[in-house]
Chains A and B, each alone.
Chain A
Amino acid sequence: MTVKLTNQKAWFLVAPVVVLVAFNAVIPLMTVVNYSVQESFGNNIFFWEGVKWFEEVLHSERFAASLMRQIFFTSVILLIEIPFGVAIALSMPRKGPWVSVCLVLMALPLLIPWNVVGAMWNIFSLPDIGLLGKALNSLGIGYDYTQEPISAWFTVILMDVWHWTSLVVLLAFAGLSSIPEAYYHAAKIDGASPWAIVRYIELPKMKRVLIIAFLLRFMDSFMIYTEPFVLTGGGPGNATTFLSIDLVKVALGQFDLGPAGAISLIYFLIILLTCWLFYTLTMKDEAQ
């Protein structure tokens, strides 16, 4: 008689998770993979194309241009929002009744739906009736985000900074609040200057939350769609057509499911790879 040592019944316990992950990640992703290697002319008839769409996308000037715009946009907003957010968090009060006032004020932009943010800035920036647009023009600055690429970029970046710097502030503030009082006391006794306190105590203690802030802002801004779509629609011309806006044009405007699938996968891999590289490199020193 043999004794069965392994019990396979435990697989049933994992089943709900497998089903959940399948429906929310694997199946949609595989659909995209499926489209990316086939050609379709409608009527649900598909032809096998192999890696043709991938080659086409990677050699396409249009993809390269929207990717460059995307990279530029993300770099600019990260360069502004991270230092700016840290600076605001550092200058916020740490104790007393004003803390909650500041935190609520900071959280407000985060509570506004994205398309509303786009619509708000659209109206706010209109050169003829918007407060910002009218004000800039009356100062003699030729500003029209519907016509000029520079104005459009300025508005999109300003909008993102307004909408999302708060997230960096809140995370940085959480990091700052967790620094024990003794560090500040020791720094005082050691005669440290205010800058040395920021440099050697506050920034190192904020490192982990800033990595999270950076990753969140990187991913979100790299995938940004709703706000610029509502604000500029990707224009003027293609000036603010970021990757996601371009992707939607390809997938839903032109109904090119194959190339759209290929773009989606490349897009996804870029984000995944960047996050992984960034996280691994920054956390390298923190083995313990």
Chain B
Amino acid sequence: MSKINLRELKHSYLENPSRDEDWALKGMDIEWSDGGAYALLGPSGCGKTTLLNIISGLLVPSHGRVLFGDEDVTDTPPERRNIAQVFQFPVVYDTMTVYDNLAFPLRNRGVPDKEIDPRVREIAQMLDLEEMLLSKAAGLTADAKQKISLGRGLIRSDVNAILFDEPLTVIDPHLKWILRSKLKEIHRQVGSTMIYVTHDQTEAMTFADQVVVMHEGMVVQVGTPIELFEKPQHTFVGHFIGSPGMNVLPCEFDSGVPRFAGHSIETASTSRPAAGYSRLEFGVRPEFVSFCPDGIPVEIVKVNDVGRYRIVDTRAGDARIQILVPEGESVSLGRAQVQFDPAHTQIYADGWIVAEASS
């Protein structure tokens, strides 16, 4: 067991990457602490799977090093890396029984049968596979097959980290929840590092202690679900996490004060952005926008009732501001005034947050 360190990692699938778009991973330094439950969150095509395959050794990065503890494993093949990986589509060896499937990674490593047997039974019990141990793996349901894939990872006691590549894609919705809780439970039991790739924020938030958000080959933020919600480091995180996403509105600095639509706004960012940016915005989540008699004038154009709260769509000039209004509060179309909660309003220059003076 050891922490996993990615240093100056870059990867391109092309032989001679020249432009920025040629890179699938555009450079990152991350440390995954031992025993952590991480989610790797991002839209399809942002490089999540590439990153995962580099950690497991299926891909050798074009640049940078992969360290397990102090050992450099960048060029070590996957079978010698003590990594388990569960794929999007369940992989089982069809002609083998469930038992043989679970025993396979150990047999390949020459572990004697008398050590394999108790281990297989232990893992089968952990995953509720005991009753099907002797049946052929081919005829099982998708969720059972996915459990077997996971079991083949768990069976090795030397595993450093278990990587999940959108493992619940083919699982029925009502079983997803069960399997996800199972994963959390297993994480508590075995304590190995788990990295869970998904594009579903609910999955990420419920599984992980730390969420790594990726966007266009970059890691834009690493943080707890609450940090991602309250202080997105990048407007992308604001958009991608939360439903509806953060309002990102244009602003400008006028004698040291950020102004939006002619009104000065108070923000949590106390420092000014360094010069040289091309785009200045501020972000505030719909949860932190409220109606107030002497605020910024807006036009309410639509009210969506989504159950426990309503999403109010408003316009201030060309800008669109969404507001979450709790059930019971009356909202009517037409003119209104809004204010932003200063503690949850941040300034972004070219998409990146402008850091507070204190930090």
Contacts and interface: CB of A to CB of B under 8 A. Distances in A.
Question: Dominant SS at the B interface?
Answer: mixed
Given A186-B149, A204-B95, A288-B139, A191 B58 contact: no
A182 B91 contact: yes
A23 B32 CA distance: 73
A185 B88 CA distance: 12
A188 B77 contact: yes
Contacts of B139: 287-288
Contacts of A204: 93-95
Nearest to A180: B89
B108 A192 contact: yes
A189 B89 contact: no
A231 B87 CA distance: 54
A182 B94 contact: no
B85 interface: yes
Given A189-B56, A190-B152, A200-B96, A183 B91 contact: yes
Contacts of A287: 139
A287 to B, nearest CB: 8
Interface residues of A, number: 19
A191 B79 contact: yes
A185 B58 contact: yes
B19 interface: no
B174 interface: no
A193 B94 CA distance: 17
B85 A185 contact: yes
A285 B93 CA distance: 15
Interface string A154-192: 000000000000000000000000001011011011111
Interface in B97-138: 104-105, 108-109, 136, 138
Nearest to A186: B91
Contacts of A182: 87-89, 91
B109 A191 contact: yes
A185 B87 contact: yes
A150 interface: no
Contacts of A183: 91
A201 interface: yes
Contacts of A189: 56, 58, 78-79, 83-85, 105, 153
A190 B89 contact: no
Contact of A201 (B78, B87, B93): B93
A196 interface: yes
Contacts of A192: 104, 108
Given A185-B85, A288-B139, A191 B105 contact: yes
Contact of B108 (A180, A193, A201): A193
A186 B94 contact: no
B345 to A, nearest CB: 44
B58 A188 contact: yes
B87 A191 contact: no
Interface in B44-68: 53, 56, 58
A196 B103 CA distance: 14
B104 to A, nearest CB: 6
Nearest to A287: B139
A86 to B, nearest CB: 16
A200 B91 contact: no
Nearest to A288: B139
A205 B152 CA distance: 20
A186 B87 contact: yes
Contacts of B53: 185
A288 B139 CA distance: 7
Q: Which 4 A/B pairs are nearest by Cβ-Cβ distance?
A: A191-B108, A191-B79, A182-B87, A186-B91
21 contacts: A180-B89, A180-B91, A182-B91, A185-B53, A185-B78, A186-B149, A188-B58, A188-B78, A188-B79, A189-B56, A189-B84, A190-B104, A190-B108, A190-B152, A191-B79, A196-B108, A200-B95, A200-B96, A204-B93, A285-B138, A287-B139
Given A189-B105, A190-B79, 16 more contacts: A182-B91, A183-B91, A185-B78, A185-B87, A186-B87, A186-B152, A188-B58, A189-B56, A190-B104, A190-B152, A191-B79, A200-B93, A204-B94, A204-B95, A205-B94, A287-B139
Interface of B: 53, 56, 58, 77-79, 83-85, 87-89, 91, 93-96, 104-105, 108-109, 136, 138-139, 149, 152-153
